[in-house]
């Protein structure tokens, strides 16, 4: 019987594979500064990055900063984002976010996690994205893709919530790699390790993946000598 790979070895193998095969990764959201990224990430909740990138150019032209957005209203903001998911609530979040940043942070997007999570429409995942991408600090944002892929590979065990997944990943991935690892896992989940029909035959992580190994074992035909 083959020995089960240790957690440390598994993480090393998976990170090495991503390093070799996806050396350059970045957010698929289009942005030029922390304000634009914050807006885009708020809009991206349960919505595709492609759709968000379609609406943000006009939105940013009309609202180049939090000051201009804070002086608007929900109806006008809605008119620019009505094609994204849940536009009414997101319009309210964007307006509230802009007003709070103007009132409490002098028009500058705060960098501290606690401050970010005070903002309307900003949960832990969004705050971690801002920390890692906008401010280039160690952070692991866990969305549905990261949550699913981590569990399938076997990087996480018995994680029931995004926070539990985040804690396990942070404990085992070198701090300087956390932001990059987030993009690796997210993009792998978006394009290869799909929720319903994962492309296992195309996946280079087959040798390390617990999900793939379990599927292969299940698919093996019974021996002719086995008892029915």
Which of 8, 49, 115, 125 is flagged as catalytic?
A: 125
Measured CA to CA in angstroms, residue 109 lies from 31, 101, 164 at distances of 14, 6, 27
Q: Is 115 a catalytic residue?
A: no
The Cα 105–Cα 110 span in angstroms is: 7
Task: Identify the active-site residue in 90, 108, 143, 218.
Answer: 143
Look up 143 and say whether it is catalytic: yes
The answer to whether the beta carbons of residues 54 and 84 sit under 8 Å apart is no
Catalytic center residues: 125, 143
């Amino acid at each position: 019987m083959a020995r089960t790979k240790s957690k440390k070895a598994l993480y090393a193998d998976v990170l090495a594979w991503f390093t070799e095969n996806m050396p350059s990764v970045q957010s698929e959201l289009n942005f030029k500064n922390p304000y634009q990224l914050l807006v885009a990430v708020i809009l991206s909740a349960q919505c595709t990055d492609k759709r968000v990138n379609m609406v943000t150019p006009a939105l940013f032209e009309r609202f180049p900063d939090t000051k201009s957005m804070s002086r608007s209203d929900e109806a006008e903001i809605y008119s620019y984002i009505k094609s994204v998911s849940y536009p009414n609530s997101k319009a309210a979040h964007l307006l509230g976010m802009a007003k709070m940043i103007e009132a409490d942070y002098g028009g500058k997007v705060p960098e501290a996690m606690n401050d970010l999570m005070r903002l309307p429409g900003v949960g832990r995942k969004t705050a971690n994205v801002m920390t890692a991408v906008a401010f280039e600090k160690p952070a692991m944002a866990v969305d549905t893709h990261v949550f699913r892929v981590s569990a399938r590979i076997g990087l996480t065990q018995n994680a029931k919530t995004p926070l539990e997944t985040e804690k396990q990943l942070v404990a085992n991935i070198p701090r300087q790699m956390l932001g990059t690892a987030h993009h690796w896992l997210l993009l792998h989940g978006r394009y290869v390790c799909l929720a319903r029909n994962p492309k296992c035959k195309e996946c280079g992580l087959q040798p390390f993946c617990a999900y793939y190994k379990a599927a292969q074992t299940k698919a093996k035909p019974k021996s002719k000598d086995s008892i029915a």
